[in-house]
A and B are shown apart, each in its own frame.
Chain A
Amino acid sequence: EVVLTQSPATLSLSPGERATLSCRASQSVSSFLAWYQQKPGQAPRLLIYDASNRATGIPARFSGSGSGTDFTLTISSLEPEDFGVYYCQQRSNWPQTFGQGTKLEIK
């Protein structure tokens, strides 16, 4: 099974700052990687799929990059509603797996 390791575990930033979240795979997943956002008490929401494609309705401040084993989610200028937990997920190798999450919190 592919292990996805996310870093940092917690990121403390202020609105307006740039956020950079990392996801590293234990083996190549090509570009078959997604990012999700989850807020307390809510279901996850798909942000990015296939490493760099924004899902429907996702603001342009969210961008994804990377391929193979190293991936990055960037939020160019944080809005108050962006705080929550972010998960990466791969679908290249069976079974699909998620990273352990990065908590993005208000500084």
Chain B
Amino acid sequence: EVQLVESGGGLVQPGRSLRLSCAASGFSFDDYSMHWVRQAPGKGLEWVSGITWNSGSMGYADSVKGRFTISRDNAKNSLFLQMNSLRAEDTAFYYCAKGTSQYESSFQNCWGQGTLVTVSS
């Protein structure tokens, strides 16, 4: 069974940093792209970032480009999101999701339960 478990969320002040982690199990992690998708409370979904199976290519939404960095450790079946210069509008549940293929442009067919990031002073 595929499992994705996010961690690292919490309350952080504007301008500060936070690092999210996602532990994956139940599938060949290094065969698939991985993604972060966020959802502000009561709002819709926003794709944030994706990374290819081998970290050869990463992509970001314009709203986070230059502030967020996605990475992965295939040896540890883990995905990460380094979030710097956080803003109030970054407040959301952050979901880790498995891609349907190796490429960062793929859809997402398995999702974690999300971790809440709250940016507030």
- Which A residues contact B (CB, under 8 angstroms)? 1, 34, 36, 38, 42-46, 49, 55-56, 87, 89, 91, 94-101
With a cutoff of 8 Å between Cβ atoms, the chain B residues found around residue A43 in the complex are 95, 111-114
Chain A residue nearest to B106 in the complex (CB):
A91
Given contacts A34-B107, A94-B59, contact A44 B45 (CB under 8 A): yes
Asked if A46 and B108 make an inter-chain contact with CB atoms under 8 angstroms apart, the answer reads: yes
With a cutoff of 8 Å between Cβ atoms, the chain A residues found around residue B60 in the complex are 95
Type the 1/0 row for B34-77, where 1 means its CB is closer than 8 Å to any CB of A.
00010000001111001000000001111000000000000000
Asked if A95 and B45 make an inter-chain contact with CB atoms under 8 angstroms apart, the answer reads: no
Q: Categorize the interface residue count of chain B.
A: 20 to 34
- Which B residues contact A (CB, under 8 angstroms)? 37, 44-47, 50, 59-62, 95, 100, 105-114
Asked if A55 and B46 make an inter-chain contact with CB atoms under 8 angstroms apart, the answer reads: no
With a cutoff of 8 Å between Cβ atoms, the chain B residues found around residue A49 in the complex are 100, 107, 109
A69 to B109, CA, bound (A): 23
With a cutoff of 8 Å between Cβ atoms, the chain B residues found around residue A96 in the complex are 47, 50, 105
Chain B residue nearest to A91 in the complex (CB):
B105
Chain A residue nearest to B35 in the complex (CB):
A96
- Shortest CB distance A5–B (Å): 12
With a cutoff of 8 Å between Cβ atoms, the chain B residues found around residue A99 in the complex are 44
Asked if B111 and A95 make an inter-chain contact with CB atoms under 8 angstroms apart, the answer reads: no
A87 to B108, CA, bound (A): 13
With a cutoff of 8 Å between Cβ atoms, the chain B residues found around residue A97 in the complex are 47
Beyond A43-B111, A87-B44, A95-B60: 5 further Cβ-contacts under 8 Å? A36-B45, A38-B45, A46-B108, A49-B109, A89-B45
With a cutoff of 8 Å between Cβ atoms, the chain A residues found around residue B106 in the complex are 91
Asked if A94 and B107 make an inter-chain contact with CB atoms under 8 angstroms apart, the answer reads: no
- Shortest CB distance A98–B (Å): 4
